[in-house]
Chain A
Amino acid sequence: MVNHAADIVVHWVQAGMATPWLVWLVITLMKCGAVVGVMMGMVAYTVLAERRFCAFIQDRLGPNRVGPFGLLQPVADGMKLFLKENVLPGHVNKVYYVLAPAITLFPALATIAVIPFGNRLGGEKMVIADLNVGILWVFSLAALGVYGIVLAGWASNSKYPFIGGVRSAAQLISYELAMGLSVIGVFMLAGSLNLGQVVEYQSHCWLVLKQPLGFLIFMVAMFAETNRTPFDLPEGEQELAAGYNTEYGSMKFALFFMGEYANMVVASAVMVTLFFGGWQVPFIPVEQWLGCSWLSGMVYIGCFLAKLAAFLFLFIWVRWTLPRFRYDQLMNLGWKVLLPLGLLNILLTALVLAGQR
């Protein structure tokens, strides 16, 4: 079968059918496969890391029995969820109920497309879609993710999911503005909305050093965006049972779960790209040492993944440290603190830029 497929490809190339368009398609599909594969792997192992790290933080052991150090736990979890009965409660709005988990996972998978995860590998840019309006694509799709949660809350036709969904919507409008404002400073400095160019701008100095306030606001907003503690009001176990996913089970629940962690991966990737130099390796001139080879390309990708992992660890660390905000505190923080601070950040950046001119 594989030989046959390889024969077909060879035949195509010999016949001159390997047009630039076809080459582009194959390469893009390969990049898509690699990115989605790595991302889903990260999602699975972030879940395990979360369970083990929170156990360490709380002086427990965590899941350590499946495989060495519990490393096969995600496989066991996945098998369990696949084998569970797919229950469709009688009282739900069936179409939206089934649609909601998919809508939650989709934005995370779509936004990762514009993140540059490496420099070049064999002359090929390591980004799936090199969009000129990359960050707008990220923001617009990230906002869509909340629709999944709101829809789940509504379609479940049950009070706790409903409250969770409403909270999620209210949280979104409190944070989306501050998030948008906080990155304007970045683009004023970098002069482009293209994420690849933002990364190139940071080759000498990470933007977190030039935009500390912007980074702080953006990070807080990202925690809210991914529904992680201290902003996990939509699912707050203690007060809302499980919030928007109360009525979900089996793979539909797993999709929500994967969506949450995939959103964490995307949020980390965006933070790394905008403020921490993306795939750039600090202090080490990789290309002078290794030359422009596949090896240096892999080093850049590895550096990006390392930074990503550091941020994922931060997400986990914060979740097991901070308690949840009360609802009015969240609104206060969003509207009365982060929004003015975001405006202040833009003003300061503009003043500095004007002063330099």
Chain B
Amino acid sequence: MAIITPRPQLTLAERLYLPAIVSGMWLTIRHFFVNLLGLKKKFTLEYPDEKCPPPPGCRGAPTLVRDEDGREKCVACQLCEFVCPPRAIRVTPEALPPGSRHAKIEKRPAAFEINMLRCIYCGFCQEVCPEEAIFLREKTILTGASRRELVHDKQRLLALGGSRPDSVKKWKDK
């Protein structure tokens, strides 16, 4: 069934435009003076001087974390490397030296590189990691003067990640 919407009959005041114009002008001049005199909290952040802190849990740059003892958690299983959709991660595993305290873990990353120019912040690496060693952290502003600078190496990833205590002490000596 067709619905016929009748055209509204405008009153003389509406057809004159003027009352509507005046009410609109009143609205804008109010905003003008409120902002000119700074009567209301301003929402604009003047970016390079004022930065908007990312909310906790924000998924920014992927980083590597250490446990509470300062041991890097990554065991170089390379699952993150395989799951990464844009192939931004490259892990080079190596064996732990035989005399090490953690020798039973067998592997650790000799090099761990994440190319931030390729990363799409999907969080798959964090999701797939069996050791909870890779986390997307609050670092959202990434700038560099060269492409090389934006390929984060292991030192940088660990520095960005910090430490994250574990609830399951999987590798602890029993």
Contact = CB atoms under 8 A, between A and B. Distances in A.
Contacts of B36: 56
Interface in A46-104: 53, 55-61, 64-65
Interface stretch (A12-20, A240-248, A304-312, A315-323): A315-323
A322 B35 contact: no
B29 A317 contact: yes
Contact of B25 (A53, A55, A64, A321): A321
B24 interface: yes
A53 B29 CA distance: 10
B171 interface: no
A61 B32 contact: no
Nearest to A52: B36
B19 to A, nearest CB: 13
A61 B46 CA distance: 9
Bin chain B's interface residue count.
10 to 19
Contacts of A59: 31, 35, 42-43
Contacts of B25: 317-318, 321
Contact of A320 (B28, B43, B46): B28
Given A56-B35, A322-B21, A61 B44 contact: yes
Bin chain A's interface residue count.
10 to 19
Contacts of B35: 55-57, 59
Interface in B27-51: 27-29, 31-32, 35-36, 42-44, 46
Interface string A271-306: 000000000000000000000000000000000000
Contacts of A61: 42, 44, 46
A57 B32 CA distance: 4
Nearest to B40: A59
A322 B23 CA distance: 11
Given A56-B35, A56-B36, A59-B35, A321 B42 contact: no
Contacts of B31: 56-59
A180 B65 CA distance: 78
Nearest to B20: A322
B24 A60 contact: no
A317 B29 CA distance: 8
B91 to A, nearest CB: 44
Contacts of A321: 21, 24-25, 27-28
B77 to A, nearest CB: 49
Given A322-B21, A322-B24, A56 B44 contact: no
B44 A53 contact: no
A328 B21 CA distance: 19
Contacts of B24: 321-322
A317 B33 CA distance: 12
Among the interface residues A56, A58, A318, which one has the most CB atoms of the partner chain B within 10 A? A56
Contacts of B28: 57, 317, 320-321
Nearest to A60: B44
Interface of A: 53, 55-61, 64-65, 317-318, 320-322
22 contacts: A53-B32, A55-B35, A56-B32, A56-B36, A57-B28, A57-B31, A57-B32, A57-B35, A58-B31, A59-B35, A59-B42, A59-B43, A60-B44, A61-B44, A61-B46, A64-B46, A317-B25, A317-B29, A320-B28, A321-B21, A321-B25, A321-B27
Given A56-B32, A61-B42, A61-B44, 11 more contacts: A56-B35, A59-B31, A59-B42, A59-B43, A60-B44, A65-B46, A317-B28, A321-B27, A321-B28, A322-B21, A322-B24
Interface of B: 21, 24-25, 27-29, 31-32, 35-36, 42-44, 46
Closest 9 A-B residue pairs measured CB to CB?
A56-B35, A321-B28, A57-B28, A321-B24, A56-B32, A61-B44, A57-B32, A57-B31, A321-B25
